[in-house]
Structure 1
Amino acid sequence: MYTLWFCFELSGWGNECRPVEQGCPRGLDMNNLMLRWLCLLSLSLPLLFWFAHVLTRDSSPASQSHKLRGYTRISPGRMGQLLDMHCSHCALVSSSGQMIGAGAGEEIDKIGCVIRMNNAPTLGYEKDVGGRTTVRVVSHTSVPLLVKNERYFFQQSADTTYVFWGPERNMRQDGKGLVFNILLRMARKYPRTKIYVVTREKIQYCDGVFQNETGKNRMKTGAFLSTGFFTMILAIDMCDTIHVYGMIDNNYCSQTNHSAVPYHYYEQKRIDECRMYKVHERAQRGGHRFITEKAIYAKWATRHKMEFKHPSWSL
Structure 2
Amino acid sequence: MLEFDRAGKAIKNLLIWNLCDHESTVADWACLSRVGVKNECRPGHWKQGFAEGLDMNVLMLRWLCLLTLSLPLLFWVGHVMIRDGPSPAAARKGLEGYKRIKPDRMDQILDINCSQCALVSSSGQMLRVGAGEEIDKIGCVIRMNNAPTKGFEKDVGRRTTVRVVSHTSVPLLVKNEQYYFQQSAETTYVFWGPERNMRQDGKGHIFNALLKMAKKYPNVRMYAVTKDKIEYCDGVFQNETGKNRMKTGAFLSTGFFTMILAIEMCDSIHVYGMIDDGYCRINECKMYKVHEHTQRGGHRFITEKAIYAKWAARHRIEFKHPSWSL
Contact 1:117 1:231 in 2 (8 A): yes
State TM-score, norm by structure 2.
0.71
- From 207, 222, 246, the counterpart of 1:180: 207
Partner of 1:74: 101
How far apart, CA to CA, are the structure 2 residues paired with 1:78 and 1:235? 25
Partner of 1:122: helix, strand, or coil? coil
**Match for residue 270 of structure 1?**
none
Distance 1:155 1:182 in 2: 16
Segments of structure 2 that go 5 or more residues without pairing to the other structure are 1-90
Q: For residues 142-291 of structure 1, what are the structure 2 equivalents within 5 Å?
A: 142-255=169-282, 258=283, 274-291=285-302
Question: In 1, are the aligned partners of 2:92 and 2:264 still within 8 Å (CA)?
Answer: no
- 1:66 and 1:118 map into 2 onto residues whose CA distance is 26
Query: Which of 278, 287, 310 lines up with 1:299 in the alignment?
Result: 310
CA distance in 1 between counterparts of 2:176 and 2:128 reads: 26
Structure 1 residues 10-49: Cα deviation after superposition (integer angstroms, max 9, x where no partner): xxxxxxxxxxxxxxxxxxxxxxxxxxxxxxxxxxxxxxxx
Query: What displacement does 1:279 show?
Result: 1.0
Identity %, equivalent residues = 79
Which residue in the other structure is 2:110 paired with?
83
Supply the AA of the counterpart residue of 2:98. Answer: Y
Cα-to-partner distance string for 1:146-196 (whole Å, 9 max, x where unaligned) = 001001001111100000000000000011111000000000000011000
| 2:119 paired residue number | 92
Cα pair distance change 1:202/1:182, threshold 3 Å: same
Q: 1:94-113 maps to which residues of 2 (within 5 A)?
A: 94-113=121-140
For residue 188 of structure 2, what is the amino acid of its counterpart? T
AA aligned opposite 1:244: V
1:312 aligns with 2:307: no
In 2: Cα distance, 1:137 partner to 1:99 partner: 18
Report 1:31-46 matches (<5 A).
none
CA distance in 1, matches of 2:278, 2:92: 39
CA contact (8 A) 2:170 2:206 kept: yes
> Which whole-Å deviations, capped at 9, do the CAs of 1:262-301 have from their partners, x for residues lacking one?
xxxxxxxxxxxx2111111011100000000000000000
Return the letter of the residue paired with 2:251.
F
Secondary structure at the counterpart of residue 218 of structure 1: coil
Give the aligned residue type for 1:293: E
More helix by share: 2
Contact 1:98/1:310 (<8 A) preserved: yes
CA contact (8 A) 1:65 1:84 kept: no
Q: Distance in 1 between matches of 2:162 and 2:105?
A: 20
Q: Secondary structure at the match of 1:276?
A: helix
Q: What is the deviation of 1:304? A: 0.1
Question: Where does residue 167 of structure 2 map in the other structure?
Answer: 140
The runs of at least 4 aligned residues of structure 1 exceeding 3 Å deviation read none
Paired with 1:103 and 1:170, the residues of 2 have a C-alpha distance of 38
- State whether residues 92 and 243 of structure 1, in contact with CA within 8 Å, keep that contact through their aligned partners in structure 2: yes
1-side partners of 2:240 and 2:92: how far apart?
30
Q: Which whole-Å CA distance do the structure 2 matches of 1:294 and 1:127 have between them? A: 26
- Number of corresponding residues: 236
Equivalent pair of 2:136/2:159 in contact (CA under 8 Å): yes
CA-based RMSD: 1.2
Give the secondary-structure state (helix, strand or coil) at the position aligned to 1:186: helix
Distance 2:124 2:197 in 1: 30
